[in-house]
Structure 1
Amino acid sequence: MDGMATVTMGLRARRMRRGGMAGALLAAVTAGALMAGCTVNGDGDDGRGSERPQEHGDGQASEGPTGSVLAVKIDNVGAARPQTGLDAADVVYAEQVEGGLSRLMAVYATKLPEVVGPVRSARESDLELLRQFDEPTLAFSGAQSKLLPLIDKAPLKAQTPEDADGAYYRGTDKAAPHNLYLRPERLIGSAPGEDALTTGFHYGAVPTGGSAEDSRTVRYPAARFTFTWSEDRDRWLVSMDGTPTVTTDGTRVGAATVVVQYVTIRKSQFRDFLGNNTPYTQTVGSGRAEVLRDGRSFDAEWKRSDAADGTEFTTADGKPMNFAKGQVWVLYAKA
């Protein structure tokens, strides 16, 4: 750990000189660098964060920033399921990670669940994706040490267990590293509201055209997502790796709109401890997409000219692609 301590101290000194957000970002570097020395399941961290979180999360609420969305990196391997608080997210992004597996980023703006998790580590792609929001709060368990300087420079509020130990706790239902949970209200206080969702999504009546569809499966090399239309629920019921997705309280997760967005997925500059390259999902640019809503599938085009912009989706005639009100799932598929 001497080498890690040297990295941590060097970053600590640099961040303290920067002022302003240095305290919060310093904690993110410290937690991430310490965790990078213990790697599990291809992450750059073991998901343990700090040893300080109480077993039952009985710390006091911290005074966190409000007015911006809360984005939480959520574990999505079999050992992490069922997840908690996933049904309360406004948007759920699915991205490919090492080994062809998947990881989720849940974005909260209109309401905060009592608990979210399991929380896991950040990836380089997250920084570009989150630029669309105004200084979002990113809750994660750590990151690879070489990625930490980029998180330092990003226009976001990094919140790891080292930053806000009263907001995180270790559950007893799963084995580490799949048992780190977050109490959102102890991190940001209250939900910022719908105006914080600067995604570029357009909501409205179902467009004309499209084709009837009752099920769609999206595959990654070692993961798959299936969305099945339910007339009774008026939702696309989510299944992952062939198993219906339910939360820990038994709620079946269902999306009002599902977006299959075809993007460039390339090698990043980072590797895991086994030498496997970390995929980079490029969310700035343009391309084709398929949008599922109201039991129909619509061909669409997506465009995001700059990282600070949201993503615009249009139909074949160039009109805005209306999403249905409710939870949106965005799955990044390789173009």
Structure 2
Amino acid sequence: MFTKKFLFIIIAILLLAGCSTKDKTEDKQDDETVMKNTDASSEVFPLTGTSTKEDNARRAVAVMINNHPQARPQSGLSEADIVYELLAEGDITRLLAVFQSETPDQIGPVRSARDYYIELAKGLDCLYVCHGNSPEAKTMLDKGYIDNLNGLYYDGTLFQRTSDRKAPHNSYTSFDSIEKGAEEKGYDMTGAPEPFTFLTEEEEKALQGEPVSKIEVIYGGSSSNVQYEYEKTEEKYTRYSDGEQTVENQSEKPVLLDNIFIIEAAHQVVDNKGRRKIELKSGGKGYLLQKGKINEVDWVNKDERIIPVKNGKEVGFVTGKTWVNIIPDEPGLDKNVSFSQEN
């Protein structure tokens, strides 16, 4: 009798221990599943598609970068997630560099605002940073169309002049200064932009298109003409302005890109200084270069953002950094863009 009772107690203890171990194992598996799901949804930068263990929820910042020959090489471009390049005055382009995954110590030279750059920044819910403005841009900024920091009011404080270049090619800022200015003005710096669509690894490997290793984008004057070269070993594109490679001013680190998106849009000169109005709503033709291949696409304005589409379906970007060249639709892509393949 005693033996039977003893055996019963032992069996009960073993069963309880087994259930406890099973519960702990299941709880651990559930926790791991939650962690994996959380990692998949939250630890990706929205404008590059790259995974990270850092803060990916901060607000994007869009900075107007001077691209006059006397402003090159610039600072911070290698750390921008996306750069939009458009004509400002005459044949000189200006750059809108969007930062979200990286926060450079020095950015610039910073240049004045234009209305169409502001529209692009607004589409990504950016804090917009400039130094000066056109009359149309001033109206938008004064009315609070977008949160902004303007160097006209912070020259010598949040914006610093360097002695190695002459104004207006020597105004610089930093992410520390931008965050300080945002705090002073009460701007919320949380809230990442909506993510772009990115290709999976399998889709990247299966990319189709015509092989192209060299591309030139013509803006009119040779000083603003852009060349790209595809580096097979890096699987990235290097960029050149008028034949000179785009690098960081101090470190000479090259700007390396994963997507080159070239689109045409209607341009109209609106004053005697050569300022323009650029139509970024109606859509049009474009080229998308990825992994050494080129494809003809269309572009649409979706929720104030420029998106590549083909046969009515959104086209994904390769994970990494993107440069968008917006050129006049006259004479058009066939005249303003040329490409070749090295043997």
TM-score (norm 1): 0.72
Alignment match, 1:216: 215
Alignment match, 1:321: 315
Relative distance call for 1:330 and 1:154 in structure 2 (3 A) is farther
CA distance in structure 1 between the aligned counterparts of 2:304 and 2:88, rounded to whole angstroms: 24
Alignment match, 2:230: 229
Alignment match, 1:149: 139
Instruction: Give 1:286 deviation, angstroms.
Output: 1.4
CA contact (8 A) 2:151 2:159 kept: yes
Relative distance call for 1:201 and 1:118 in structure 2 (3 A) is farther
TM-score (norm 2): 0.70
Relative distance call for 1:214 and 1:146 in structure 2 (3 A) is closer
CA distance in structure 1 between the aligned counterparts of 2:230 and 2:189, rounded to whole angstroms: 30
CA distance in structure 1 between the aligned counterparts of 2:89 and 2:323, rounded to whole angstroms: 21
Instruction: Give 1:291 deviation, angstroms.
Output: 0.3
Alignment match, 2:265: 263
Which one has a larger percent helix, Structure 1 or Structure 2?
2
CA distance in structure 2 between the aligned counterparts of 1:279 and 1:198, rounded to whole angstroms: 29
Alignment match, 1:290: 287
CA contact (8 A) 1:132 1:198 kept: no
CA distance in structure 1 between the aligned counterparts of 2:102 and 2:281, rounded to whole angstroms: 28
| Number of residue pairs aligned between Structure 1 and Structure 2 | 260
CA distance in structure 2 between the aligned counterparts of 1:104 and 1:311, rounded to whole angstroms: 15
CA contact (8 A) 2:120 2:305 kept: no
CA contact (8 A) 1:110 1:192 kept: no
Query: Secondary structure of 1:185's partner?
Result: helix
CA distance in structure 2 between the aligned counterparts of 1:154 and 1:284, rounded to whole angstroms: 21
CA distance in structure 2 between the aligned counterparts of 1:290 and 1:68, rounded to whole angstroms: 29
CA contact (8 A) 1:109 1:192 kept: no
CA distance in structure 1 between the aligned counterparts of 2:128 and 2:207, rounded to whole angstroms: 37
CA distance in structure 1 between the aligned counterparts of 2:101 and 2:287, rounded to whole angstroms: 26
Query: Secondary structure of 2:105's partner?
Result: coil
Alignment match, 1:124: 115
- After superposition, give the CA deviation of every residue in 1:202-237 in whole Å (9 maximum; x if it has no partner): 444336431000011001011201110001222110
Query: Secondary structure of 1:127's partner?
Result: helix
Relative distance call for 1:192 and 1:154 in structure 2 (3 A) is closer
- After superposition, give the CA deviation of every residue in 1:96-120 in whole Å (9 maximum; x if it has no partner): 1211111111001111110100001
Instruction: Give 1:128 deviation, angstroms.
Output: 2.2
Relative distance call for 1:139 and 1:293 in structure 2 (3 A) is same
Which consecutive residues of structure 2, in runs of 5 or more, have no partner in the other structure?
A: 1-56, 183-187, 330-343
Task: Give 2:325's aligned amino acid.
Answer: L
Instruction: Kindly report structure 1 stretches of 4+ aligned residues shifted beyond 4 Å.
Output: 162-165, 189-193
Task: Give 1:326's aligned amino acid.
Answer: G
From 146, 149, 152, the counterpart of 1:159? 149
CA distance in structure 1 between the aligned counterparts of 2:161 and 2:68, rounded to whole angstroms: 18
From 70, 75, 86, the counterpart of 2:61? 70
| Structure of greater relative contact order (alpha carbons < 8 Å, 6+ residues apart) | 1
Relative distance call for 1:236 and 1:192 in structure 2 (3 A) is farther
Alignment match, 2:326: 332
Task: Give 1:228's aligned amino acid.
Answer: E
Query: Secondary structure of 1:276's partner?
Result: coil
Which consecutive residues of structure 1, in runs of 5 or more, have no partner in the other structure?
A: 1-65
Instruction: Give 1:163 deviation, angstroms.
Output: 4.3
Relative distance call for 1:286 and 1:326 in structure 2 (3 A) is same
From 139, 142, 159, the counterpart of 1:168? 159
